[in-house]
Amino acid sequence: LSLEKDLLQALEQDQFIFYFQPQWNLRDGRIEAYEALVRWIHPDKGLLMPGQFLPLVEQVGLSQELDLLLLEKAVATLADWKRQGITVPLAVNMSPVNFQLDGLKKRLQQLLLRYQVSPAMLELEITENTAMNDMEKGSNYVAELQQMGIRVSIDDFGTGYSSLGYLRKMPIDKIKIDRSFVTEMATNDSDMMIIKTMVTLAHGLGKRILAEGVENQAQLEVLRALSCDAIQGYLLAKPLPEQDALALLATDN
Ligand code: G
Ligand code: G
Ligand code: MN
Ligand code: NA
């Protein structure tokens, strides 16, 4: 209950920040994008993880407000990086309730214009369930974002409704294999086969594919051998505070 009260204040006083986790391109070994992951700097409790407050945010009906605030934060971050000569795209998670919101596209357009940020620098991560909710509407919506120059990727792929029809219809850019498949890949033949099939599927549809949750070199080598395009995970970097993320980028390029 008190956390709920704190939440309103947090939104007003801008107590949310992003950590940034790199996505590495397996072809050239470089960072191709950062994923923005929200943290709440609570005045008493310190750094809170999304799992500690996002359910509450949703429960009290503030997730639309938070998502819009975080979208602005993402675009403002890109503008700031641009001023520093840093041009790395940023992927932002969208909670299912907010995707396809009336006004989201307009809001995005305004933000990109106001901060003078190219839409090509922004990527929205949605889950399969979000995409599938109303496939007709969903694919039109993704197409409109793509026409604006904003890329959309599917997060946690393989854990939602596993209908594949939407992949064909939606002009999504990237598929992110859920980390649960990667974790056991080296020891579990079925998981290995599933990943292999996902890579083939993605490439057959002209989409890029990234594996999440890569924690060791053995996993990386298997993913490379399977022609996975990119990886993300603790092996390369945990989600980092902004200064550390920028320092890493400087050593990378
Ligand atoms: O590090 P990690 O604990 O950061 O993130 C846990 C989950 O919280 C992620 O799977 C993601 O779905 C969600 N999440 C993280 N950051 C954001 C954000 O900025 N917006 C939304 N809507 N969800 C986020
Ligand atoms: O948005 P998404 O559900 O993909 O959020 C990614 C989540 O996975 C974040 O909570 C992030 O901290 C976490 N994560 C990122 N890399 C790894 C990893 O290599 N191992 C594990 N266990 N978690 C990871
Ligand atoms: Mn994500
Ligand atoms: Na994920």
Q: What is the pLDDT along the chain (253 residues), one digit of tens a residue?
A: 688 889 999 999 999 999 999 999 999 999 999 999 999 999 999 999 999 999 999 999 999 899 999 999 999 999 999 999 999 999 999 987 777 777 889 999 999 999 999 999 999 999 888 777 777 888 888 899 999 999 999 999 998 876 688 888 889 999 999 999 999 888 889 999 999 999 999 999 999 999 999 999 999 999 999 999 999 999 999 999 999 999 999 998 6
| pTM recorded for the entire structure | 0.96
Assess whether the C-beta atom of 178 lies below 6 angstroms from ligand 2.
no
Which residues is 176 bridged to in the sheet?
A: 210
- Neighbouring C-beta atoms of residue 192, cutoff 10 Å: 17
Assess whether the C-beta atom of 113 lies below 6 angstroms from ligand 1.
no
Assess whether the C-beta atom of 249 lies below 6 angstroms from ligand 1.
no
**Cα(55)–Cα(117) distance, rounded to whole angstroms?**
31
Assess whether the C-beta atom of 92 lies below 6 angstroms from ligand 2.
no
Which tens digits make up the pLDDT trace of 41-96?
Answer: 999 999 999 999 999 999 999 998 999 999 999 999 999 999 999 999 999 999 87
Assess whether the C-beta atom of 123 lies below 6 angstroms from ligand 2.
no
Assess whether the C-beta atom of 127 lies below 6 angstroms from ligand 1.
no
**Could you tell me what percent of the chain has a pLDDT over 90?**
77
**Cα(142)–Cα(37) distance, rounded to whole angstroms?**
22
User: Half-sphere exposure of residue 234, counting CA atoms within 13 Å on the CB side?
Assistant: 6
CATH number of the structural domain spanning residue 215: 3.20.20.450
**Cα(181)–Cα(188) distance, rounded to whole angstroms?**
9
Nearest CA to ligand 1 atom 23: 93
Assess whether the C-beta atom of 67 lies below 6 angstroms from ligand 2.
no
Residue 140's domain comprises: 2-252
**Cα(153)–Cα(141) distance, rounded to whole angstroms?**
13
Give the ligand 1 atom nearest the CA of 127: 12
Which ligand is closest in space to the CA of residue 17?
A: 1
Give me ligand 4 centre to Cα 114, in Å. Answer: 30
Give me ligand 2 centre to Cα 214, in Å. Answer: 9
What is the predicted pLDDT for the residue at 55? 94
What is the predicted pLDDT for the residue at 95? 84
With contact defined as beta carbons under 8 Å apart, do 196 and 166 qualify?
Answer: no
What is the predicted pLDDT for the residue at 1? 61
Count up the domains in the chain and report the number: 1
Give me ligand 3 centre to Cα 37, in Å. Answer: 8
Supply 23's token pair.
């996505």
Give me ligand 2 centre to Cα 114, in Å. Answer: 31
Give me ligand 2 centre to Cα 138, in Å. Answer: 25
Encode 146-164: b = buried (16+ Cβ within 10 Å), e = exposed: beeebbbbbbbbbebeeee
